[in-house]
């Protein structure tokens, strides 16, 4: 009996069972941190486009007027159609998940992309280093901080890597298969998958050369041509679909949305050194980790292998060394561009690690060294992953709460004014007409225009910035307020009541701007608390004693207010009338804060107001001093100019006198 059980246990597919358990734990980790909201400016381009495809069958949107919000990552063509500047095949993938799972299902595309990439890494690495090292390769992907953080970020990177890994596995297995049918079908499928990544990220077109290089370097004779032909046929399918889309959207199959923002021309050699100082340290600190650093030196040189890995790694790396945009700060900002290189570097690390362990004289010593490396890699990965994911989840949770409150307090079809960050999230709902809050002030408009026109390449399309400048850029504060009052009246008359959503200072500014002309109603307040952390506190106190008391304490979320712009007043309030209403509002707020008439709290509130008044008076005096100093400087310059003018006139008179 014991022999039967022992034989049965030996026959179990232990690598697959271990891999399955790892994938389940990984999926649970991602699910903890993923909050189903749009996720940011870039994600707005992907997911709103997917939503438009679900609703209307097209990837573009059109606006009802010139001021309506459209995300910064969108570009407008000659027909007035706004497309995201990104390729369409990730929105198509997200739209399919929306159709299967309901609106918002596409937010989970990055989660599934991360899981499938880890599973695909096992399949691919198994071909190079065997089953158990393949399991280790999948673990390296799961413990990669940048990749895992991208798995909850709802953008394009993890699905692209998943398609690349599975496509490479299909091509390599097909190229080494004995059956001729597999030599055709698997490379064809691999070509489709790898070329599909170009429809997710344009620069991933470089990845199609990787399987081609494998076929050229490691296959011979008729097999080589079969693999290359099948690969080319498969790649032609996504490439043709992408070319047709670009032709329809931008007028030419080689013209992309990036050409409308001048970003296609923003690759310059002068950026190489600055980018290198970011990419090299962060790639090893946030992507590869201790195992890679320990194992890469053990790789054995072979010229065919060296050419293959160079084709995979160098083109993308060198391309992004010349790119104008590379944020510093140990985040996903710059490292996400290098994600297509991650599978290659991990495969090299596994090859080097296997060779180093085989050089050790004792198997127990090799097992101990491997266990130590895995433990160090695990601690490194978990701490970095939680550091990146905790803040992202907290920020997304705030927006999720805001969106739910907006759905409860703001009717469908209303016009909503808010900051760009909130509008990026609300845009996916397609419930309201959205307007950015920078339209409310001349300096907000001016800053938006200057950010796009003042540099060679910027996220906001220059044509959009010029249109905004032409329409509102010349208006001073009074003229702008007058224009907006008329515009808001038109919206209300058309059945789109106007709401403003913002924090305290933003709401106060909105009230001051429109209080005299419109009734303003408080429509809701968004406040609450969130957990201090989900899995691990990342902002820890230096003292472990103090930390123990505070680590579980909930964190209050910023307070947001929703204000409704009501009916137009029959008569514009005078300054005195406005002051009276403001005093009443002040009294109501103080009563609400101090319901029990606590004398100490009343003194503190009065002191706060006194501090505010004193600080305002100090700022006023400083401004007066600055204006007086500026006036003195200008007067001195004027006197100096007049003196110089008189001196010049005197010289000319002297020169004009006849010489004796």
Q: pLDDT of 371-403, one tens digit each?
A: 999 999 999 999 999 999 999 999 999 999 999
* C-alpha closest to that of 340 among 360, 363, 367, 313: 313
Distance CA 263, CA 279 (A): 20
pLDDT in tens, 48-63: 999 999 999 999 999 9
pLDDT tops 90 at residue 571: no
pLDDT of residue 553: 81
pLDDT of residue 451: 81
pLDDT tops 90 at residue 504: no
Q: What is the mean pLDDT of residues 498-518?
A: 90
pLDDT of residue 623: 83
The per-residue pLDDT of the chain, averaged, comes to 89
Q: What is the mean pLDDT of residues 578-601?
A: 71
CA 491 to chain centre: 32
Q: What is the mean pLDDT of residues 444-457?
A: 78
Structure tokens at 141: 């992907």
Please indicate whether residue 557 or residue 264 has the higher confidence score (pLDDT).
557
Residue 98: other Cβ atoms inside 10 A:
24
pLDDT of residue 103: 93
Please indicate whether residue 212 or residue 364 has the higher confidence score (pLDDT).
212
* Percent above pLDDT 70 for the chain: 91
Domain ranges of the chain: 391-537+553-600, 601-632
* Percent above pLDDT 90 for the chain: 62
Query: Which residues, at least 6 apart from 67, have a Cβ–Cβ distance to it below 8 Å?
Result: 435, 439, 471, 472, 487
For tokens 């071909």, name the residue: 127
- Give CA separation, 279 vs 201, 327, 335, 413, in Å: 19, 10, 7, 46
Backbone angles phi, psi at 77, to 5 degrees: -95, -175
Query: Which residues, at least 6 apart from 653, have a Cβ–Cβ distance to it below 8 Å?
Result: none
- Give CA separation, 286 vs 42, 381, 382, in Å: 22, 8, 11
Q: What is the mean pLDDT of residues 211-237?
A: 96
Q: The pTM is what? A: 0.86
pLDDT of residue 462: 82
Distance CA 7, CA 450 (A): 73
Q: Are the C-beta atoms of residues 141 and 123 closer than 8 Å to each other?
A: no
Alpha helices in 454-555 (DSSP H): 462-472, 477-493, 504-514, 544-550
Instruction: For residue 578, name the pLDDT band (cuts at 50, 70, 90).
Output: low
pLDDT tops 60 at residue 1: no
* Residue 488 φ/ψ region, left for φ over 0, alpha for ψ in the -120 to 50 degree band, beta for the rest: alpha
pLDDT in tens, 286-328: 899 888 777 777 677 788 999 999 999 999 999 999 998 888 7
pLDDT of residue 572: 85
Q: Name the burial class of residue 463, with classes exposed (0-12), middle (13-18) and buried (19+) by CB atoms within 10 angstroms of its CB.
A: middle
- First and final C-alpha spacing in the chain: 137
Backbone angles phi, psi at 568, to 5 degrees: -70, 135
Strand partners, 530: 555
Count Cα neighbours of 420 within 13 Å in the Cβ-side half-sphere.
15
For tokens 């501090």, name the residue: 611
């Amino acid at each position: 009996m014991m022999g039967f059980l022992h034989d049965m246990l030996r026959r179990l597919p232990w690598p697959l069972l271990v891999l399955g358990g790892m994938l389940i734990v990984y999926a649970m980790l991602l699910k903890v941190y993923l909050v189903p909201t749009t996720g940011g400016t870039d994600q707005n381009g992907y997911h709103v486009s997917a939503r438009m495809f679900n609703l209307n069958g097209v990837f573009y949107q059109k606006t009802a007027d010139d001021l309506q919000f459209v995300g910064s990552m969108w570009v407008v063509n000659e027909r007035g159609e706004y497309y995201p500047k990104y390729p369409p095949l990730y929105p198509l993938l997200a739209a399919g998940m929306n159709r299967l799972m309901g609106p918002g299902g596409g937010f989970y595309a990055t989660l599934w992309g991360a899981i499938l990439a880890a599973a695909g890494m096992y399949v691919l690495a198994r071909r190079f280093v065997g089953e158990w090292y393949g399991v280790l390769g999948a673990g390296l992907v799961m413990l990669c901080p940048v990749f895992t953080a991208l798995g909850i970020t709802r953008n394009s990177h993890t699905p692209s890597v998943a398609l690349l890994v599975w496509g490479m596995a299909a091509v390599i297995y097909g190229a080494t298969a004995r059956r001729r049918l597999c030599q055709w079908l698997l490379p064809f499928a691999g070509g489709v998958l790898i070329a599909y990544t170009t429809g997710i990220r344009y620069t991933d077109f470089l990845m199609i050369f990787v399987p081609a290089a494998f076929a050229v370097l490691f296959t011979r004779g008729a097999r080589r041509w079969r693999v290359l032909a099948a690969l080319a046929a498969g790649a032609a399918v996504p490439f043709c679909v992408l070319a047709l889309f670009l032709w329809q959207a931008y007028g030419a199959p080689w013209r992309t949305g990036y050409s409308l923002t001048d970003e296609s021309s923003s690759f310059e050699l002068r950026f190489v050194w600055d980018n290198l100082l970011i990419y090299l340290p962060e790639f090893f600190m946030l992507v590869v980790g201790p195992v890679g650093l320990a194992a890469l030196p053990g790789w054995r040189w072979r010229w065919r292998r060296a050419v293959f890995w160079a084709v995979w790694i160098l083109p993308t790396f060198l391309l992004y060394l010349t790119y104008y945009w590379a944020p510093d700060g140990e985040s996903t900002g710059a490292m996400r561009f290098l994600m297509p290189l991650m599978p290659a570097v991990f495969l090299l690390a596994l090859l080097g690690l296997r060779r180093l362990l085989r050089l050790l004289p004792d198997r127990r010593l090799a097992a101990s060294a491997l266990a130590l490396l895995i433990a160090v890699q695990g601690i490194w990965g978990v701490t970095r992953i939680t550091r990146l994911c905790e803040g992202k989840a907290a920020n997304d949770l705030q927006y999720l709460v805001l969106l739910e409150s907006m759905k409860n307090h703001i009717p469908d079809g209303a016009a909503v004014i808010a900051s760009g960050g909130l509008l990026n999230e609300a845009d996916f709902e397609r419930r309201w007409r959205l307007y950015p809050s920078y339209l409310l002030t001349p300096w907000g408009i001016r800053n938006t225009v200057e950010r796009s026109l003042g540099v060679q390449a910027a996220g906001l399309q220059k044509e959009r910035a010029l249109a905004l400048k032409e329409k509102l850029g010349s208006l001073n504060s009074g003229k702008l307020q007058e224009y907006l009052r008329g515009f808001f009246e038109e919206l209300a008359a058309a059945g789109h009541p106007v709401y403003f959503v913002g924090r305290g200072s933003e709401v106060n500014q909105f009230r001051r701007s429109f209080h005299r002309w419109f009734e303003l109603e408080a429509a809701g307040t968004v406040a609450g608390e969130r957990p201090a952390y989900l899995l691990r506190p990342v902002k820890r106190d230096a003292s472990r004693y103090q930390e123990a008391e505070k680590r579980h304490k909930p964190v209050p979320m910023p307070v947001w207010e929703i204000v409704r712009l009501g009916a137009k007043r029959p008569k514009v309030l005078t300054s005195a009338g406005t002051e009276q209403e403001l005093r009443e509002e002040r009294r109501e707020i103080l009563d609400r804060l101090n319901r029990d008439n606590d004398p100490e709290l009343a003194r503190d509130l009065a002191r706060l107001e006194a501090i505010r008044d004193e600080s305002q008076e100090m700022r006023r005096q400083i401004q007066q001093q600055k204006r007086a100093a500026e006036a003195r400087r200008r007067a001195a310059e004027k006197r100096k100019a007049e003196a110089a003018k008189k001196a010049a006139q005197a010289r000319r008179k002297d020169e004009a006198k006849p010489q004796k």
